């Protein structure tokens, strides 16, 4: 038996753990879906949450840094401003008769190698009106983004800069070190 086969066999028989915070959250979501806070609904939700975690274990999420409250608050403010400004831009495109907005698909190479940051940037980018992540490549930490209202190369660079700014703010908020991947900042 080779080393990789032994590691896989050992991981199959490793005792599985239940995350109590996740189980509590899943139980609350279960009760909210049923719109009932009876003891029966809560017990069934808790049993279902534990069973789901045992049958479908989540991979561990590595968070190499620590949360910085000031930077996190700054990021939340930045996000709210971006949502408001983008909503106005999308509204302008929708209400303008006759003219079709130009769109672009752009590739953004992230500086961080953290899967957590990749996921957070993808989610935040998709939550901002007028942009949506159409592909995320974990192997190269690259996002492909469809952006509304991009007319030229300067617009593409603005969207790329906005995405990289979002990444930088998330890195500051969560204190995750950036590995030098040979890319210009």
* Sign of the C-alpha dihedral computed for residues 52, 54, 56 and 62 taken in this order: positive
Q: What pLDDT is recorded for position 7?
A: 52
Identify whether 170 is part of a domain: yes
Same domain, 150 and 118: yes
Judgement on whether residues 73 and 142 belong to the same structural domain of the protein: yes
Both structure tokens of 118: 């990749």
Residues written for the chain: 185
State which of 29, 55, 81 marks the end of a domain. Answer: 55
Examine residue 181 and state whether it is found in any structural domain, yes or no: no
166 with 75, same domain: the answer is yes
Do residue 112 and residue 145 come from a single domain?
yes
pLDDT per residue, tens digit, the chain (185 aa), is 555 555 555 555 556 788 898 999 999 999 999 999 999 999 999 999 999 999 988 777 666 678 899 999 999 999 999 999 999 999 988 888 877 888 999 999 999 988 889 999 999 999 999 999 999 999 999 999 999 988 899 999 999 999 999 999 999 998 877 665 555 44
Residues 108 and 28 in one domain: no
Q: Where are the beta strands (DSSP E) in the chain?
A: 103-109, 131-137, 142-148
**Residues whose CB is less than 8 angstroms from the CB of residue 127 and which lie 6 or more positions away in sequence, other chains included:** 79, 83
Q: Would residue 180 count as lying in a domain?
A: no
Judge if 42 and 78 occupy the same domain: no
Residue 52, both tokens:
């789901």
Are 10 and 89 within one domain? Answer: no
Shared-domain flag, residues 96 and 18: no
pTM to 2 decimal places = 0.70
Residues 88 and 168 placed together within one structural domain of the fold? yes
Residue 31 token pair: 């009760």
DSSP class per residue in 131-184? EEEEEEETTTTEEEEEEET--SHHHHHHHHHHHHHHHHHHHHHHTPPPP--S--
Residues 105, 169, single domain; the answer is: yes
Domain holding 119, by residue range, is 69-174
Tally of domains within the chain? 2
DSSP-derived 3-state class of residue 128: coil
Q: Are residues 89 and 139 part of one domain?
A: yes
* Residues 161 and 85 reside in one and the same domain: yes
């Amino acid at each position: 038996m080779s080393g990789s086969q032994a590691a896989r066999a050992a991981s199959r028989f490793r005792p599985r753990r239940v995350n109590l915070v996740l189980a509590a959250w899943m139980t609350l979501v279960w009760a909210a879906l049923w719109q009932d806070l009876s003891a029966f609904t809560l017990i069934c939700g808790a049993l279902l949450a534990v069973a789901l975690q045992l049958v479908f274990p989540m991979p561990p999420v590595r968070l190499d840094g620590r949360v910085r409250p000031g930077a996190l608050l700054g990021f939340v403010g930045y996000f709210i401003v971006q949502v408001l400004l983008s909503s106005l831009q999308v509204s302008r495109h929708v209400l303008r008769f006759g003219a079709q907005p130009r769109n672009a698909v752009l590739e953004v190479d992230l500086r961080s190698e953290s899967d957590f940051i990749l996921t957070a940037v993808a989610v935040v980018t998709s939550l901002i009106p007028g942009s949506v992540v159409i592909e995320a490549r974990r192997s190269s930490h690259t996002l492909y983004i469809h952006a509304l209202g991009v007319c030229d190369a300067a617009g593409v660079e603005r969207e790329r800069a906005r995405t990289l700014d979002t990444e930088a703010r998330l890195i500051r908020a969560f204190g995750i070190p950036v590995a030098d991947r040979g890319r210009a900042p």
